[in-house]
């Protein structure tokens, strides 16, 4: 019974210490008061540590800039590309991605190559690959 009381007292003391530490941490991380911030800014200004107005990082340049073609020229190019079949259908992605992912062989060629690899024993049997589950 006395051991149980001792453990209860130790737990209570530990909880009280933890509460004090967490309260102190909250007080330390609390935002500074407006007056404190103003005082810090005034001190930095007197010390010459503030960047003067207008001397900060300049504005960044726009990536694209103005187009060299008129709207009519762009529309004419688009119509010509549509007639030649060079436009990618909506939702199909960029032409470069479509060309890169396209198959270089047809289905019959792939089936023949797979059949030949199986006959030669070059394929991995089912369940024995690198990603197969461990027994």
102-128 confidence digits (pLDDT tens): 567 788 999 999 999 999 988 888 878
Q: What is the DSSP string of 29-48?
A: TSPPPHHHHHHHHHHHHHHT
Compute the average pLDDT of residues 15-31: 62
Residue 119 pLDDT: 92
d(CA 80, CA 94): 18
Residue 90 pLDDT: 78
Given a cut of 80, is residue 13 above it in pLDDT?
no
More confident of the two residues 133 and 32 = 32
- CA angle at residue 90 from 85 to 95, to 5 degrees? 55
**Residues 78, 85: contact at Cβ < 8 Å?**
no
In the three-class reduction of DSSP (H, G, I as helix; E, B as strand; rest coil), residue 106 is classed as coil
The model's confidence at residue 53, banded by pLDDT at 50, 70 and 90, is confident
């Amino acid at each position: 019974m006395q051991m149980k009381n001792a453990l209860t007292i130790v737990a209570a003391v530990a909880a009280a210490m933890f509460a004090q530490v967490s309260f102190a941490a909250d007080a330390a991380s609390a935002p500074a008061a407006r007056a404190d911030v103003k005082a810090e800014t005034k001190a930095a200004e007197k010390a010459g540590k503030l960047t003067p107005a207008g001397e900060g990082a300049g504005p960044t340049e726009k990536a694209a800039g103005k187009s060299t073609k008129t709207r009519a020229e762009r529309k004419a190019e688009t119509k010509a590309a549509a007639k030649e079949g060079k436009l990618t259908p909506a939702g199909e992605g960029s032409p470069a991605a479509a060309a890169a992912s396209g198959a270089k062989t047809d289905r019959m060629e792939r089936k023949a190559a797979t059949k030949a690899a199986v006959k030669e024993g070059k394929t991995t049997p089912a369940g024995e690959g690198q990603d197969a589950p461990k027994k």
